[in-house]
A and B are shown apart, each in its own frame.
Chain A
């Protein structure tokens, strides 16, 4: 069965002015789509022909991993946005963030730093580790925390294509905007 590009639960202009429609047209319509297409071209005839996406992310290497993980990462990234959800964590996730980082503000600072300092292309992640504690990690390129047994909770794409049309070299400006469109109901359910 072929992998498909998931439908976005919002319009391409829904995240304006924080993420422009043009950026989403390329990021979702071209990059995300290309990873799906590439993955579908790569898996036939391999051991992953009948695998689900999560298995590919956990076990594959090379091009199948790169494209499979990028499909997974982008879906996870796009699905965490809305302009309607709560702007701050609630419930158990809020409690865990306070326990681990001291406050939501301190967490935001630490996560932003991880996203800002990741050199080259990649992703910053908030994960629940094997012992149930929250952790911030950086992954290069298509890297995905499922491979190390973590449960992803939140992610920020810091490939330049995620922000270059909007803020060019100013990744920190993109990161300021990033916090404005997160839907903490969705993110809380992942935890």
Chain B
């Protein structure tokens, strides 16, 4: 009997070159087909023969605490975070968030520019590898960051909330195009943010 891989890597919802010139095709290809695929493969290896095997990735993420082995924590995070990241971007996207999300961001930070500045600060302030997030918890928006492949949904992290938007600030996310200039990568990220998706996440979080 062939065993089916429990955790899978969803297809990228666009082509590697579709986020050019903001995110280059070479970066997308390596990021998706090597880094992300690697996390999924390693997670399946780590899960084999354990109770985790029967869980969905969404469920697993919410169970990662101080007792979780590093191999599960890191690879589950890498699996979930990247899938979330790909869906947070789209070709010909960017612009400004509208509707209730736009209103909520302005209500929280005063203006969209102020929100973006705060998000950028979190993305630049994450020393080493990690992620910056826009999250919602009990109806309140906030910006947080997590090291490595941790995620605000994991009980093990010091921050909490449901992610609405995330940016990968591991150097592998931008080094081929931006090298040491993480700030330029973050500035250009806004040109590919899929606000429709972020808005949909916001709506389902307030249900």
Q: What residues of chain A have their CB less than 8 Å away from a CB belonging to chain B? A: 26, 30-31, 34, 66, 119-122, 140-142, 159-161, 164-165, 168-169
Q: Which of B38, B129, B149 contacts A160 (CB under 8 A)? A: B129
Whether B170 contacts A160 by the Cβ 8 Å rule is: yes
Q: Which of B70, B74, B148, B180 contacts A161 (CB under 8 A)? A: B180
B176: chain A residues at CB < 8 Å are 164-165, 168
Per the bound structure, the CA–CA distance linking A160 and B180 in Å amounts to 11
Whether B179 contacts A26 by the Cβ 8 Å rule is: yes
Whether B128 contacts A122 by the Cβ 8 Å rule is: yes
- Closest Cβ–Cβ distance, residue A140 to chain B (whole Å): 7
State which size class the interface on B falls in. Answer: 20 to 34
**Closest Cβ neighbor of B73 among chain A residues:** A119
Does any Cβ of A come within 8 Å of B48's Cβ? no
Whether B175 contacts A121 by the Cβ 8 Å rule is: no
A142: chain B residues at CB < 8 Å are 127-128
Whether A160 contacts B171 by the Cβ 8 Å rule is: yes
**Closest Cβ neighbor of B31 among chain A residues:** A169
Per the bound structure, the CA–CA distance linking A142 and B147 in Å amounts to 13
Whether B127 contacts A120 by the Cβ 8 Å rule is: no
Does any Cβ of A come within 8 Å of B34's Cβ? yes
A34: chain B residues at CB < 8 Å are 180
B179: chain A residues at CB < 8 Å are 26, 30, 161, 165
Q: What residues of chain B have their CB less than 8 Å away from a CB belonging to chain A? A: 30, 34-35, 38, 70, 74, 127-130, 147-149, 170-172, 175-176, 179-180
A26: chain B residues at CB < 8 Å are 179-180
Nearest 7 CB-CB pairings of A with B? A160-B171, A121-B128, A141-B128, A120-B129, A120-B148, A164-B175, A30-B180
Per the bound structure, the CA–CA distance linking A120 and B127 in Å amounts to 11
Given contacts A26-B179, A165-B176, contact A120 B30 (CB under 8 A): no
Whether A161 contacts B175 by the Cβ 8 Å rule is: yes
Whether A169 contacts B35 by the Cβ 8 Å rule is: yes
A121: chain B residues at CB < 8 Å are 128-129, 171
**Closest Cβ neighbor of A140 among chain B residues:** B128
**Closest Cβ neighbor of A159 among chain B residues:** B171
B127: chain A residues at CB < 8 Å are 66, 141-142
Per the bound structure, the CA–CA distance linking A121 and B175 in Å amounts to 14
Q: Which of B34, B35, B38, B147 contacts A120 (CB under 8 A)? A: B147
Given contacts A66-B127, A164-B171, contact A31 B30 (CB under 8 A): no
13 sampled A-B residue pairs with Cβ under 8 A: A31-B180, A34-B180, A120-B128, A120-B147, A120-B149, A120-B170, A140-B128, A141-B127, A142-B127, A159-B128, A160-B171, A165-B179, A169-B172
